[in-house]
Amino acid sequence: MRGNQFGRAFCLSTFGESHGTAMGALVDGCPAGVVWQQEMLHRFLERRRPGTSKITSARQEPDQVEVLSGVFDGVTLGTPIAAVVYNQDARSQDYSDEKLKARQGHATDLWQEKYGHSDPRGSGRASGRETLCRVIGGAIARMFVTQLYPEAQVIAFVSRVGLIGMNDSDCIDVAEALEGDPWQIDEFSVRCPSAEKNEQMEMLLTRARETGESYGGAAFMRIAGLPRGLGQPVFGKLKSELTAAYLSVGATTGVEIGQGFEAAKSSGNEFHSSRQDYGGIRGGLSTGDPMTAKIAFKPTSTRQDMAREGRHDPCIVPRAVPVLEAMTWLVLADQILLNRLDRV
């Protein structure tokens, strides 16, 4: 099985299954001399962890990370950084053959056909639990990027759940307001930084847990404080790297950079009148302006009786927010290292 590595210069490899012994991450390419921030790593994992609210999966995993290599005396060595999190609350007995067959929308049958043998418990490697490995890698990437660019910020939040959503201009205003303290987003139960919308979303998802319904949604992303010129044309454009990173997260269905599909409705005079419309990327390279993106997610596949009886998220977007941020930091770390190879 391939496809478990991400990045070219700052490389993340992940391993483990949802109901296996452990999940883990191996980061290769992180330079020596990066100040290690253990508390920040724990905070990244805590933000993604299940069982923290009534609208998320009830699976209780402490997600305590053990760093095995690559760090000494509080600084990275430049050698591979290996880290593991041991699974402690798997309930494999919940995944009988009958229940697995009833999970329309999951890819268990495709995995079985492709490999001939797979681990269906909790979706195995296709589980959302795999994303904790990405969060480990993203935390390490953030340590590196912010040591070089202290002003760098990556801010994501829930902008839509079902029919309840924020408009683009409000998203931009809120993202700018969050720059001083991006962790504020965690004070909102659904991670939607509008008190009114957040309350409506929470009520919708609380009812969804009771009825076995699920909902799709969207997240808004803002990236700021980075230099001009990040990106590798022709096939490594920054917009394509970010899009690939976001679409690699389970349940994502679409990504818009800047104005996205709205640009298709504009005339040239309208579109090119504002630098903001570019989304911080021009010619595949960062412009130094804030970058913006919108990421769409489909409704969670587990529904009806299995959702009422099991431990599942009625909407994946609130817990996907820290994962999207982690993937962004990984792309930025990779592009910063690649940028150093571009000229003498």
DSSP annotation string for 268-284: HHHHTT-GGGGTTEETT
Per-residue pLDDT of the chain (344 residues; tens, 9 = 90+): 788 999 999 999 999 987 788 999 999 999 999 999 999 999 999 999 865 566 766 556 678 999 999 999 999 999 999 999 998 865 545 555 555 555 666 777 787 788 887 776 656 677 788 999 999 999 999 999 999 999 999 999 999 999 999 999 999 999 999 988 889 999 999 999 999 999 999 999 999 988 889 999 999 999 999 999 999 999 999 999 999 999 999 999 999 999 899 889 989 888 888 777 788 999 999 999 999 999 999 998 865 555 455 557 889 999 999 999 999 999 999 999 999 999 88
3-state secondary structure of 84: strand
pTM over 0.85: yes
Tokens representing residue 130 in the block: 């795999």
Tokens representing residue 256 in the block: 């818009």
Tokens representing residue 87 in the block: 């699974």
Per CATH, is 5-339 categorized as 3.30.1330.10? no
Tell me what pLDDT residue 180 has: 81
The Cα–Cα gap between 292 and 284 comes to: 14
Taking each helix axis as running N to C, give the angle between helix 317-339 and helix 131-148, from 0 to 180 degrees, rounded to the nearest 10.
Answer: 50
List phi, psi (to 5°) of 291. -100, 140
